[in-house]
Amino acid sequence: MTLSFHLGNGIKIGLRTSKRARRLRLISGVNGVEAIVPPDYRAEELENFIFAKRDWIIKTARHYSRLKERCGGWQPGTIYFLGRKYRFHVVKDKQQSAVVSDAMKIITFHSADRRRRKQEIQKWYSELTSKIIAQRLPVLAVRLGLKYNRVSIKNQKSRWGSCSKKGNLNFSLLLAAAPPKVIDYVIIHELMHLVELNHSSRFWQLVKDADPEYKRHKEWLVSFAPVIKIGYA
């Protein structure tokens, strides 16, 4: 359900009833602003609450509007793979699989249970990222003359990659959403932490020496991170 309040800029607020909610609250993201309400909420109370939060709603709506502009727009039902945007849909099937159509720019997920689409898309991303890392990490490590220890693909919430003091490398399962050169940048970034476990000027110089266009690749990650992380939600 969508509510319409006269807040300016044509802002509309989604409404979701939750049995777990003990109070009124608002959440905001690329999808828009949504009010989470308990089953026994009163319309008058909700209206007063929203108008009390008017400035915050307008501010956060503008913030996410700018983010969407930076990444060329975002629509529900879209997903990113190797830097390209695809529409996606889920069909019921006994065999779990994913079919990518570059010509039609659509990814079809076959699933025995469409309610598990988030978990299955995560698994798909994880498998693709694992393959890419297995191919590119050894090549880049040899080129840079660096050795690493264990490698893991994780559902990291706030980082594309990380490097431990023991030389273990971790990468976000969503990395397969980025363009190949951006993926290489993330790998190089983490490999350079084997030399400098910080973000000092020396560290960034090492990254620049290995990837002269690293700033552009880094900017891509900043611009697209919000839409990639919610694309399959």
pLDDT in tens, 57-78: 888 877 777 776 766 666 778 8
- What stretch(es) of the chain map to CATH 3.30.2010.10? 119-230
The dotted CATH code for 119-230 is 3.30.2010.10
Q: Do residues 2 and 14 make contact, with C-beta atoms less than 8 angstroms apart?
A: yes
Q: Do 160 and 63 meet the contact criterion of CB atoms below 8 Å apart?
A: no
Residue 27's alpha-carbon distances to 20, 34, 134, in angstroms, are 15, 5, 38
Confidence of residue 158 (pLDDT cuts 50, 70, 90): confident
pLDDT, tens digit, for every residue of 97-147? 888 998 889 998 888 776 777 888 889 999 999 999 999 999 999 999 999
Contact 77, 94 (CB under 8 A): no
How many C-beta neighbours within 10 Å does residue 108 have? Answer: 17
pLDDT of residue 5: 57
